[in-house]
Chains A and B, each alone.
Chain A
Amino acid sequence: MSDVMNDPSGSGGSGRSGDAGPSGGSGMSGSGGLSLRARASVTFAAAVLLAVVVVVYILRAPTGSPGIAEPSAAGTISADGPRLRMLDNGMVAAVSLGDPSGPRIVTSQRCDRAYAAAGTVACLRPASALGATRLSVLDDGMRERRSIRLTGFPNRLRVSDSGRMIAWTLFVSGDSYAGGEFSTRAGILDTRTGRLASSVEEFAAVVDGRPYRAADVNVWGITFSHDDNRFYATMATAGHRYLVEGDFAAKTLKTLADGVECPSLSPDGTRVAFKAAVGGDPARGWRLSVLDLASRKVVATAENRSVDDQAIWLDERTVAYGLQRGDGVNDVWAVPADASGSPRLLVPGANSPSIDLPGA
């Protein structure tokens, strides 16, 4: 169904005067995460997992050898608990959530962003120099079920907890949220019905209670609620970066708060983890923070390094996110979702984390 956008210069946003042809935010690390569902269902899911054996090829991203790796061995994993999916230098990989530094399965799937939930693995294939990107929807065994051509450079990617809804954000001009001019395009695919919203910017927006239209609207960082219809995202316009609540069926967006980027909804649906621009200035970096949707109270987490990622929730109390070292190697870190504690290294040498409960 869906050739989506073939309009590289970005009709939806401001052309950037800067470098042409960015190749995509893979360094921006991470994409969001699937919130674990209710605890009770975890037990069930784990039981299901025990019965699921996933056959993958074990490959290796060859940091020292040219070209794409070839399968070096066939192997299997039988997960004995929830799996943490991530990218290992651009290859879809997985570890046991209970033993994230243990054996690692690295598949042959190369992505700039990946996100998995309930056995649906979404992958934004690396962009060409001209900005052609492909969304691949894979099943648990890494078989491609669907592919959509997109335009822009991969940035965020998310799958709803049920595995049904997929949302992505691409840069169509520029390559950073930090400064200068950029333009994003965010889309949503309903894998059950095939319905595609190729640009959420086209949804009817309500800002502070009033209908709103502007040419400079950009949307990024979508996170789904449990009903597979309602979602949250960032909508930027006129210098604001609003948290919006969206409705996929009704095609609407309404603002809830300002200064909230890349939201990630907690498993219980009451809070969003997000990145808060330091001093309101994205050029100064971001502080990973948590907003209580009812009280509108914000707490900054104990992670004081700049996190440019859409965090995931490991449980009701913990968020995880990617951070890049000075030499370009990424790590996934975790920190309590309040001001307590301190960051801990969760998965070395990985980014784009998500929690995959096949069959959930």
Chain B
Amino acid sequence: MLRRKAAIATFLAAASVAAGTVVAVLGDATVASAATATFTPVADTYVDNSVTTTNYGTSAQLGVDNSPVKRMFLRFTVSGVSGTVTGAKLRVHTDDVSGAESPSGGTYKAMSNTTWSETGVTWASQPAIDGATLGSVGSVVRNTWYEVDVTSYVQGNGTFSIGVTSSSSDGADFDSRESGSTAPQLVITTGTTSTPTPTPTPTSGDPVLVGAGDIANSGSGDTATAALLDGIPGTVFTAGDDAYDNGSTADFNNYYAPTWGRHKARTRPVAGNHEYNTSGASGYFGYFGSSAGEPGKGYYSYNLGNWHIVALNSNCSSIGGCNAGSAQEQWLRSDLAANTRPCTLAIWHHPRFTSGSNHAPTTSVGPLVQALYDNNAEVVVTGHNHQYERFAPMNPSGQLDNTRGIRHFVVGTGGAGMYNFGTIQPNSEVRNNNTFGVLKFTLHSNSYTWQFVPQSGKTFTDGGTNSCH
């Protein structure tokens, strides 16, 4: 009895968490084209007839098998979708472990029961898998995505349950919603086209802005990311800590120049804390010259197509503070007030929001975030923690704000050794800390797409699109 109470309470709490992790990647509302929305399950679990009273609701894995008999249950809540649903696709990812592979990835069926408890369901209490067959997946290998077309079942907003069975005695194992970026997905496509991929193709001709932070040292990571830049045209940004260990002239010449330095003529940098290990960041300002803005300030802006790009200096104590009323904050507010471009992106080094374990969120840049929010900016890009993290659009307090929120990225993946994550912060949507790479923005006239481009030989990526406010 007590145990049951606990389970129910945990489920209620878990459901609210799931609601917040829904990743909606919506297309530009003002352009008539397809839009996709990706949903992660609000609940998923499996049951096992060899352990009839065990619940696996918190497991990171989902199993489907016929010996012992394992059945998977998935539930999605689709909301915020308008227009005609032209496609709905269930995506499931096999575990990256030996034994996840199977001759059968299971048979997927609709279910009438959409209220089963993720942390309560056991073999003995499982809901019936009683609806139409949606599809079957043949043989599966480990660490791979598989897709089932569920358009016949998911035709708009609502709650949907899918049950999975297998007739193979060699079962398959999938990642559950607890597993993060390989959690099951329901990808809904609306509109006039049926492009299924959530990563849109940039329109040719729109400006590209590409870069990363935490870049050049004696290791080889910066070599790998500079090679990516070789194949990507457009403007290059840095997000600070461009040249380790001290941003000295020698550090820039020895480490940065041979790699990212190839693209210096099209680079607009910002300074990190390592640049300020050299007094006044003089090595940094000396290397980049006028591209880095005025020495002693290090904040400046420029335009790319319909976009206003703001480079800021988050080494607040070195430039008289970042607080409201500070020289930089005042400059930023007047710069934004004078801007006539409809979309704005800002870059600096120290993240206001981060789940990294090595550097806590930097609250001193809060007034800069506030000024950008007050002026309807779209994107903030930072580094400092050596990893990739993407947040949902948030207000300056870090609350989800799908109307005016700013999407924050940490892209400290330029080449310096990776850091761990600590406590995962609210509204963190995607994280990775084992892949060097660059973040590429394609700046459309009233929207943007982002794409994390991994170093050669790596597979992690991330992408999506948002409209401007």
Chain A residues positioned under 8 Å from B18 (CB to CB):
64
Residues on B with beta carbons closer than 8 Å to the beta carbon of A175:
357-358, 419
Q: State whether B359 touches A22 (Cβ < 8 A).
A: yes
For B195, the chain A residues whose CB sits under 8 A away are none
Of residues 63 to 84 in A, which have CB atoms within 8 Å of B's CB atoms?
Answer: 63-67, 69, 72-78
Chain A hits for B58, CB < 8 A: 101-104, 348-349
In chain B, positions 356-391 with a C-beta closer than 8 Å to chain A are 356-363, 384, 387, 389
Compute how far the CA of A65 lies from the CA of B398 in the bound complex, rounded to whole angstroms: 9
Q: Closest approach, in angstroms, between the C-beta of A104 and any C-beta of chain B?
A: 6
Residues of A within 8 A of B246 (CB): 17
Interface residue? A128 (CB, 8 A): yes
Contact with B along A79-119 (1 / 0, CB 8 A): 00000000001100000000101111110001010000000
- State the CA gap A103–B13 with chains docked (Å): 13
Q: Across the interface, do B431 and A348 meet the contact criterion of CB distance under 8 Å? A: no
B306 → A minimal CB distance (Å): 31
B423 contacts A61, CB within 8 Å? Answer: yes
A27 at the interface (CB under 8 A from B): yes
Asked if B12 is an interface residue, CB under 8 A from chain A, the answer is yes
In the complex, the answer to whether B426 meets A327 with C-beta atoms within 8 Å is no
Which of B22, B389, B420, B434 has the largest number of chain A CB atoms within 10 A?
A: B420
B55 touches A327 (CB 8 A): no
The residues of B that contact A74 with a CB separation of less than 8 Å are 9
Chain B minimum-CB-distance residue to A65: B20
CB contacts (< 8 Å) of B61 on chain A: these are 345, 348
Are B2 and A77 in touch, CB under 8 angstroms? yes
Task: Select the residue from A21, A65, A103 with max chain B CB neighbours within 10 A.
Answer: A103
A24 on interface, CB distance cutoff 8 Å: yes
Q: Which chain B residues lie closer than 8 Å to A348 at the CB level?
A: 58-61, 178-179
Q: Is the CB of B357 within 8 A of A27?
A: yes
- Tally chain A residues at the interface, Cβ within 8 Å: 61
Q: Is the CB of A66 within 8 A of B10?
A: no
Chain B minimum-CB-distance residue to A105: B6
Contact bitstring B379-408, A, C-beta under 8 A = 1, else 0? 000001001010000000111100000000
B424 touches A329 (CB 8 A): yes
Min C-beta distance of A326 to chain B, whole Å = 4
Q: How far is the CA of A67 from the CA of B426 in the complex (A)?
A: 7
Chain B neighbourhood of A110, CB < 8 A: 423
Contacts A67-B426, A326-B433 hold; do A23 and B10 have CB atoms under 8 A apart? no
Given contacts A28-B357, A66-B427, A128-B360, contact A102 B422 (CB under 8 A): no
Tell me which of A64, A77, A102, A349 contacts B20 (CB under 8 A). A64
Residues of B contacting A178 in the complex (Cβ-Cβ under 8 angstroms): 417
As a 0/1 sequence over residues 428 to 454 of chain B, the CB contacts with chain A under 8 angstroms (1 = contact) are 101111110000000000000000000
From the candidates A73, A112, A126, A349, name the one contacting B60 in the complex (CB within 8 A): A349
Q: Interface digits, B18-47 against A, CB 8 Å rule (1 contact, 0 not)?
A: 111110000000000000000000000000
* Interface check A208, CB cutoff 8 A: no
B54 & A27 in contact (Cβ 8 Å cutoff): no
Task: Indicate the member of B178, B355, B360, B384 with the most A CB atoms within 10 Å.
Answer: B360
Contact B14 A60 (CB under 8 A): yes
CB of B33 to closest CB in A, whole Å: 28
Contact B277 A17 (CB under 8 A): yes
Set A20, A26, A329: member contacting B179, Cβ < 8 A: A329
- A183 at interface by CB-CB < 8 Å: no
Q: For the complex, is A29 an interface residue (Cβ under 8 Å from B)? A: yes
A3 at the interface (CB under 8 A from B): no
A209 contacts chain B at the CB level, 8 A cutoff: no
**Contact residues on B (Cβ < 8 Å of other chain), bracket:** 35 or more
In the complex formed, the residue of A with least CB distance to B429 is A64
The 8 A CB mask of A52-64 against B (1 = contact, 0 = none) is: 0100001111111
A26 and B357 contact, CB distance less than 8 A: yes
Asked if B12 contacts A22 (CB within 8 A), the reply is no
Question: Is A353 interfacial (CB-CB < 8 Å)?
Answer: no
Partner of A349 from B21, B178, B417, B432 at Cβ < 8 Å = B178
What residues of chain B lie closer than 8 Å to A128, measured between beta carbons?
360
Q: Which residues of B contact A99 (CB under 8 A)?
A: 54
Main secondary structure of the interface of A (DSSP, over half): loop
A18 within 8 A of B: yes
Find out whether the CB atom of A21 lies under 8 angstroms from the CB atom of B55. Answer: no
Q: How far is the CA of A128 from the CA of B417 in the complex (A)?
A: 24
Residues of B within 8 A of A60 (CB): 10, 13-14, 16-17
Question: Which residue of B3, B21, B54, B178 contacts A64 across the interface (Cβ within 8 Å)?
Answer: B21
Interface centre among A20, A77, A327, A331 (most CB of B within 10 A): A327
Given A72-B12, A329-B180, decide whether A23 and B59 contact each other with a Cβ distance below 8 A: no
A106 touches B13 (CB 8 A): yes
Whether A24 pairs with B357 at a CB distance below 8 angstroms is yes
Shortest CB-to-CB span from A327 to chain B, Å, is 4
B119 to chain A: which residues have CB within 8 Å?
103
**Interface membership of A324, Cβ < 8 A:** yes
Determine whether the beta carbon of A25 is less than 8 Å from that of B420: yes
Q: Is A19 an interface residue (CB 8 A)?
A: yes
Cα distance A65–B421 when bound, in Å?
Answer: 18
Using known A-B contacts A64-B17, A72-B16, determine if residue A21 contacts B426 with beta carbons closer than 8 Å.
no
- A179 is an interface residue with CB less than 8 A from chain B: yes
A17, A102, A327: the one contacting B430 at CB < 8 Å is A327
Nearest Cβ on chain A to B109's Cβ, whole angstroms: 25
Nearest B residue to A178, CB-CB:
B417
Give A349 to B14 CA distance when docked, in angstroms.
13
Given contacts A129-B362, A348-B59, contact A62 B420 (CB under 8 A): no
Q: Cβ of A127: which chain B residues have Cβ within 8 Å of it?
A: 360
The answer to whether B431 and A77 touch across the interface, beta carbons within 8 angstroms, is no
- Pair B6/A58 contact, Cβ less than 8 Å: yes
B75 contacts the other chain (CB 8 A) = no
**Complex contact A21–B359 (CB within 8 A):** yes
| CB-defined contacts of B434 to chain A, threshold 8 Å | 326
Partner of A18, one of B245, B355, B363: B245
Interchain CB contact under 8 A, B358 and A328: no
Does the CB pair A64–B397 fall under 8 Å?
no
- Inter-subunit contact A72/B20 (CB<8 Å): no
Nearest residue, chain A, Cβ from B12: A72
Q: Do the beta carbons of A22 and B13 come within 8 Å of each other? A: no
Find chain A residues with CB under 8 A from B428 CB: 63
Query: Would you call A325 an interface residue if the criterion is a C-beta within 8 Å of the partner chain's C-beta atoms?
Result: yes
A328 surroundings in chain B (CB, below 8 A): 180, 355, 387, 389, 420-422, 424, 431, 433
Min CB–CB distance B385 → chain A (angstroms): 9
Known: A66-B427, A69-B13, A73-B12. Is A103-B7 also a contact (CB below 8 A)?
A: yes
Closest 7 CB pairs of A and B: A64-B20, A27-B420, A328-B421, A27-B357, A90-B423, A23-B360, A26-B422
Extra contacts, 16 of them, besides A27-B420, A328-B421 (Cβ < 8 A), are: A19-B358, A24-B358, A26-B420, A28-B420, A58-B10, A58-B13, A64-B20, A67-B398, A72-B16, A77-B3, A129-B363, A327-B181, A328-B355, A328-B387, A328-B424, A331-B60
| Interface positions of B (Cβ within 8 A of A) | 2-3, 5-10, 12-14, 16-22, 54-56, 58-61, 119, 178-181, 241, 245-246, 273-274, 277, 355-363, 384, 387, 389, 397-400, 417, 419-424, 426-428, 430-435, 460
Q: Pull 6 A–B residue pairs with CB atoms less than 8 Å apart, ordered by A.
A: A19-B273, A64-B21, A75-B2, A78-B3, A129-B363, A345-B61
